[in-house]
A and B are shown apart, each in its own frame.
Chain A
């Protein structure tokens, strides 16, 4: 019976609801802008990763090596580009 019950998916679903709930606290409670942003960013990235692995089945094929390396490559480039841009146009201007 256990193998017919999608335990992982159900847990993932509950967890994603919890993450959404935490993100909604930013609106309903009175926290500072910085704290709010941090909460939003952290929950958003965990949410994205969760969706990606649990519901988009990233790790379930034999391509998982290329899928994950692609994601990390992309993340690396995004972080580099965004930080670089902030550095050029705001922090060191």
Chain B
């Protein structure tokens, strides 16, 4: 019995972990107490856990992403604090390894991915004039699988120990021989579960965009964000199976003693790095393309101009989607392959800067002669342009394989990828969030606090990451938990720490802004507070469950359908209100994902009976679903008319 519980202990406990454990338990109890006290269990189950509504699923993705942004942010602060002064003993080597591993995994897979999925969910059906996604229940399964994967991963640092082999988890370091705790099992299995959810999202959204566009909306009349979503989901469908396979092989190696990634018995450890980046590089474009789409929406709205070079935007994204699969070797130029291979991948990597450059120039030309209105979302976009370009240019430096031998595994690389991900993805997410906030919640975020947030964030960003370029070139290696005084890195690392602190302040300002605006903002806003252009603004705020009372008609429309309707009098909603067919809610996705969680947790600790129980549960829920007859329900025309009237009568607009 004692042995059974001993396996759940943390192998390298420290005071910080005990504090985290206590706060997680207290937080959990408090949450349960609050929900019980306000009698919210029924509400939660009916309105959120069983929902198949793309808007609510989107908001659940958003909440998870914000929670994980906080968690990953705390990790980041711990890393910077450890490196702020030389020979620091705030974290020991093992704990530092765990923190940088979870920082990477959490930020990429459990913060950025759900954040973009939130935008897919919330915006795509609205932008194409659909009532929901193609497979609403599958969408709920996607969310709950992702959520359970996220939960399992976050459980690792209180039960059994966090993964410590880096977010790339290279073998042989990640093998049982060198990563003895169950941490890497958590990595393999939680990513597998969350990855399945993402793959399903990809299939769902491709189908939605291909099949459910409003009448008259041809592919080249789609709003730019929908285009970016289509291409990102296409990349998801082709890239994620590689991760699935790699993780399955890694799991087999760790749990069942197979020899895929071992160094002897015919195994090939470098195959992991190869497969990981075959998925991993397209993954960064999965993140950045929707971000580009959001910037296109924001920039056209606040430059008060239509997008410059719509077609070239689309074609450059398609080019990027193909090239994104042709550059993966640049992540391991120093692994030992020959000059020929490195040259080929250097060239493809540099080539990918061309379509990206086309997009940058298109945005600049959209701004040119525009009537620019500086709002918070626009400020994010205006900061994005120069900062992202800087990150892109250092990317081209890294692309030169010969020079990469100098940059590889240094802080220069760390500075580069944060320089593209933060101004690229994070600014797009926060700008997009501010932009679509009134559509979702019926009030605007405070502009003054919002703009101050952007400035503090950019200042913090520059202070945090510019010094890393310098220390990186001077030879500071990444993933080293400390350095000595004599290296001369101390001052610049202290500057980095201050920058990271400023970024933390800016995130707190964002939280403050949400609270302040919730308290003080006017609820009397129109459904189009920004004077925007896309179809998503043509419906009411808050968006009714059926999205559009009458399906919009875009035969005379353009990618900026709502602008045409406002300024040129194009009629979007023709015909009369009819009965609307909607999908039923279901608890099955949640229950099935719980079984996935049980099976996953059991597999982490090799508890086979429980794992088999979980997997049988998964299959059983699938069987129940295939024997079920579910035809959805109808909202009758008179009910729709009543809802529509309630919007005319003041209150929510």
- Is there an interface contact between A76 and B328, defined as CB atoms closer than 8 Å? no
* Contact of A92 with B338 in the complex, beta carbons under 8 Å: yes
B326 at the binding interface (Cβ < 8 Å): yes
Indicate if the CB atoms of B338 and A93 lie closer than 8 Å: yes
Give the contact-size bracket for chain B. Answer: 20 to 34
Question: Contact: A85 with B278, CB < 8 Å?
Answer: yes
A-side contacts of B335, CB under 8 Å:
88
Contacts of A66 in B (CB 8 A): 210
Within the complex, what minimum Cβ distance (angstroms) separates A91 from chain B? 8
Chain B's nearest CB lies how many Å from the CB of A68? 13
Nearest-CB residue, chain A, relative to B329: A88
Chain B residue with the shortest CB-CB distance to A70 = B234
A89 engages B274 (CB within 8 Å): yes
0 or 1 for each of A78-91: is its CB under 8 Å from B? (1 = yes)? 00110011011100
Whether A63 sits at the interface, judged by CB under 8 Å, is yes
In the bound assembly, the distance between CA atoms of A63 and B270 in angstroms comes to 40
Whether A89 pairs with B270 at a CB distance below 8 angstroms is yes
CB pair A93–B336 under 8 Å, yes or no, is yes
Which of A80, A84, A85, A87 has its CB near the most chain B CB atoms (within 10 A)?
A: A84
Cα–Cα distance between A10 and B597 once the two chains are bound (Å): 48
Task: Convert B214-235 into 0s and 1s, putting 1 for each residue whose CB lies closer than 8 angstroms to a CB of A.
Answer: 0000000000000000000010
What separation, in Å, do the CA atoms of A47 and B335 have in the docked complex? Answer: 39
CA–CA, A88 to B274, complex, Å? 9
Contact of A77 among B325, B337, B341 (CB under 8 A): B325
CB distance from A38 to the nearest CB of B (A): 25
Is the pair B337, A92 in contact by a Cβ cutoff of 8 Å?
yes
- Is the CB of B155 closer than 8 A to any CB of chain A? no
Indicate whether A76 sits within 8 Å of B322 (C-beta atoms), given known contacts A63-B210, A87-B341, A92-B337. yes
| Contact string against A for B residues 314-353, beta-carbon threshold 8 Å, 1 for contact and 0 otherwise | 0000000010011011000001111011001100000000
What residues on A are CB-neighbors of B242 within 8 Å?
A: 81
List of A residues within 8 angstroms of B268 by Cβ: 89
With the chains together, A81 CA to B238 CA distance in Å? 11
B271 contacts A by Cβ under 8 Å: yes
Q: How far is the CB of A47 from chain B (nearest CB, A)?
A: 22
A79 to chain B, nearest CB (A): 10
A89: B residues at CB distance < 8 A: 268, 270-271, 274, 337
Chain B residues positioned under 8 Å from A73 (CB to CB): 234, 238, 322
**Residues of chain B contacted by A80 (CB below 8 angstroms):** 325-326
Q: A63 — which chain B residues lie within 8 A by C-beta?
A: 210
Please name all residues of chain B whose beta carbon is closer than 8 Å to the beta carbon of A77 when the two chains form the complex: 238, 322, 325
A21 an interface residue at 8 Å Cβ cutoff?
A: no
Does A74 sit at the interface, judged by CB under 8 A? yes
Cα–Cα, bound, A88→B335 (Å): 10
| Cα–Cα, bound, A92→B333 (Å) | 12
Q: How far is the CB of B588 from chain A (nearest CB, A)?
A: 29
Bound-complex Cα distance A93 to B274 (A): 13
B210, B234, B328, B338: the one contacting A84 at CB < 8 Å is B328
Kindly state the separation between the CA atoms of A80 and B327 in the bound complex, as whole angstroms.
Answer: 10
Interface flags, A46-69, vs B, CB<8A=1, else 0: 000000000000000001001000
Most buried by B among A76, A88, A89, A92: A88
**Chain A, Cβ-Cβ closest to B234:** A73
- Which residues in B have their C-beta under 8 angstroms from that of A76? 322
User: For window 232-256 of chain B, which residues contact chain A by CB distance below 8 Å?
Assistant: 234, 238, 242
Contacts of B336 in A (CB 8 A): 93
User: A63-B210, A76-B322, A80-B325 given as contacts; is B274 within 8 A of A85 (CB)?
Assistant: yes
Closest B-chain residue to A74, C-beta based? B238
- When the two chains form the complex, which single residue of A81, A87, A92, A93 contacts B325, counting CB atoms closer than 8 Å? A81
Whether the pair A88, B238 counts as a contact (CB closer than 8 A) is: no
Provide the bound-state CA to CA distance between A73 and B270, in Å: 27
**Closest CB-CB distance, A17 to chain B, in whole Å?**
31
How long is the Cα–Cα vector from A87 to B341 in the complex, in angstroms?
Answer: 7
**Using Cβ atoms and an 8 Å threshold, which residues of chain A touch B278?**
81, 85
CA distance A73 to B206 in the complex (A): 14
Let me know if B326 and A84 touch, CB within 8 A. yes
- CA of A87 to CA of B487 in the docked complex: distance in angstroms? 39
Q: Which residues of B contact A84 (CB under 8 A)?
A: 326, 328-329, 345
Q: How far is the CB of B131 from chain A (nearest CB, A)?
A: 21
Chain B proximity of A70: nearest CB distance (Å): 8
Residues on A with beta carbons closer than 8 Å to the beta carbon of B322: 73, 76-77
Specify which chain A residues have a CB less than 8 angstroms from the CB of B234 in the assembled complex: 73
**Smallest CB separation, A89 vs chain B (Å):** 6
With A73-B234, A93-B336 given, is the CB distance from A88 to B325 under 8 Å?
no
Chain B residues near A87: list those with CB within 8 A. Answer: 337, 340-341, 344
CB distance from B368 to the nearest CB of A (A): 34
CA distance A80 to B271 in the complex (A): 16
- Chain B 342-382 interface residues, beta-carbon cutoff 8 Å to A: 344-345
| Interface residues in chain A, defined as those with a beta carbon under 8 Å from any beta carbon in chain B | 63, 66, 73-74, 76-77, 80-81, 84-85, 87-89, 92-93
Given contacts A84-B326, A93-B338, 5 further A-B contacts (CB under 8 A): A63-B210, A84-B329, A88-B274, A88-B337, A89-B337
Residue ranges of B at the interface with A (Cβ–Cβ < 8 Å)? 210, 234, 238, 242, 268, 270-271, 274, 278, 322, 325-326, 328-329, 335-338, 340-341, 344-345
13 pairs of residues in contact across A and B, judged by CB atoms under 8 Å: A66-B210, A73-B234, A73-B238, A73-B322, A77-B238, A80-B326, A81-B242, A85-B274, A87-B340, A87-B344, A88-B341, A89-B268, A89-B274
* Complex A-B, nearest 10 residue pairs according to Cβ-Cβ distance, in ascending order: A92-B338, A92-B341, A77-B325, A88-B337, A92-B337, A92-B340, A87-B341, A77-B238, A88-B341, A80-B326
